[in-house]
Structure 1
């Protein structure tokens, strides 16, 4: 069972909390219908992402066997057979379809299902070919998170602000570039690129790209908090105060990336770094207080 869990990576389901963004920023956290729709979308995305993880490990099994860390993955180590991995891939896909079918209307099922299908096809293409191209690879990863936000939006009929969509793309692009920096450091230390496209990155480029995306992400967030449509809809003109926590979070992650050189797994960082957790909690509580406590 442990090897199966390692293959489908439920710890990575944390990424799918992005489907809750429309509900959170839309001020409908107390709406039972939106809660149910967002939860179903979360699990639908989680299962389809696990299906992609299975395909990725099947496709990369030979390369993973030569990798100093990935060689311990269930398929690369031989703990799980290729046949069982294909079966798990199909089961996860079926579960995703089944959960999507539980949404409360055919319109929601069709829209969310369309997003999931597009995400699935895009990631199969990513696993087989597109991840070999520098810049394209990180943009596809970031766009995957935009699709999560759109799925949450379609499931709840909450239209997200354009600034929110842009911020989602930029923030996850920032995290993806930080992860690629970890690959560049490993390549510089060992002389072997962890990925085929790592040779198209270097520390100078990565550092500049991280700085640019972090800066534009902060600007997008500030623009979101002062946007007239947002302040009127949420009934607060003090949302800009939460920008302090966004800045602290970005600076902390840059510190982890550049100083500690531990940006290889954003999910692991979120689960283990206490400073980051405190900043996120403080941001969320402040945002909620401004929206719900009048």
Structure 2
């Protein structure tokens, strides 16, 4: 009885074994298409995040100097340089975190973690962009722009290495990155930056950053692991306090700007400067709805995906533009 199985195997027709061998799927070699590596590099630079760099027009728009041909060309250049710096940070960050990202349920699909972009290539392209962008800024723009780009790169790389593990400092670093985006357009055009502009922009950025952290903490509550290491150390109550405080300061600073006449004669029939407070406050309150629900994880998706918020934003943009033109 014990020899029945071997006998059965030897009695099996050889043709059957041959057919099975020919049917056995052969492992396919990795894709060598030319676009694969380039596509992976592009995905690693987070094209969806490029919308944040539109903040480079904030200071010129606030000063009413946005629509000249020289200003538009300079701002397009600054946008491209800042995008290159941000791309360098993303590439270096993903190369550094490749091993950790492979163990994450979502981040393992990133091109570097998935092996589509080799780690040395990510380091090399990121390093090249980090060197070229400030160098081009020295040659093509003002020295202050190159200095700000260099400071941004240094701060963000320090964040990737260690600062993202320091409570509160991580929020300050990300917020400062947004503030630098808003400042660099003014530096490129030589526009003085007002205190109200800096306060409103800085605390508005802190509002969105802390609301994003709060949403991530709410969504990851009760699960094993967290998207960010610090989420296990922050409490949802603390993050709620931060975004509520930041929203209040941003609204207050904007209202003080709107109510400050500064002795400038106004020729418009309606006080657009004061009226612009209404859509601004409504926009903050509308965004706070998503923050309170814990669904403000991706600010660009909230802003672009909610129709009511988009309409409020357009109304504010129109009133603000009229206020600046009248100013």
Per the TM superposition, whether the score is higher than 0.5 is: yes
Mapped contact 2:134–2:150 kept (Cα < 8 A): no
- Map 1:42-191 onto structure 2 (within 5 A): 42-97=79-134, 99-101=136-138, 103=140, 108-191=141-224
Mapped contact 1:40–1:102 kept (Cα < 8 A): no
Corresponding residue for residue 22 of structure 1: 59
Give structure 2 stretches of 5+ with no counterpart: 1-37
Q: Which has the larger radius of gyration?
A: 2
Corresponding residue for residue 34 of structure 2: none
Corresponding residue for residue 251 of structure 1: 285
Mapped contact 1:43–1:99 kept (Cα < 8 A): no
3-state DSSP of counterpart to 1:190: coil
Corresponding residue for residue 219 of structure 1: 252
**TM-score of the two chains, using structure 1 as the length reference:** 0.90
Q: CA RMSD in A?
A: 2.2
Name which of 275, 288, 292 aligns with 2:321.
288
Separation (CA, whole Å) in 2 of partners of 1:180 and 1:275: 23
Q: In terms of mean alpha carbon deviation, does 111-120 or 240-249 score higher?
A: 240-249
3-state DSSP of counterpart to 2:227: coil
Give structure 1 stretches of 5+ with no counterpart: none
Corresponding residue for residue 33 of structure 2: none
Q: In terms of mean alpha carbon deviation, does 35-44 or 91-100 score higher?
A: 91-100
Corresponding residue for residue 15 of structure 2: none
Corresponding residue for residue 231 of structure 2: 198
Separation (CA, whole Å) in 2 of partners of 1:73 and 1:235: 54
Mapped contact 1:180–1:198 kept (Cα < 8 A): yes
3-state DSSP of counterpart to 2:41: helix
Separation (CA, whole Å) in 2 of partners of 1:71 and 1:275: 34
* Greater share of residues in helix: 1
Mapped contact 2:130–2:153 kept (Cα < 8 A): no
Q: CA deviation at 1:102?
A: 5.6
Mapped contact 2:266–2:326 kept (Cα < 8 A): no
Corresponding residue for residue 42 of structure 2: 5
Q: CA deviation at 1:241?
A: 1.0
Q: CA deviation at 1:101?
A: 4.6
Separation (CA, whole Å) in 2 of partners of 1:7 and 1:228: 46
Mapped contact 2:200–2:254 kept (Cα < 8 A): yes
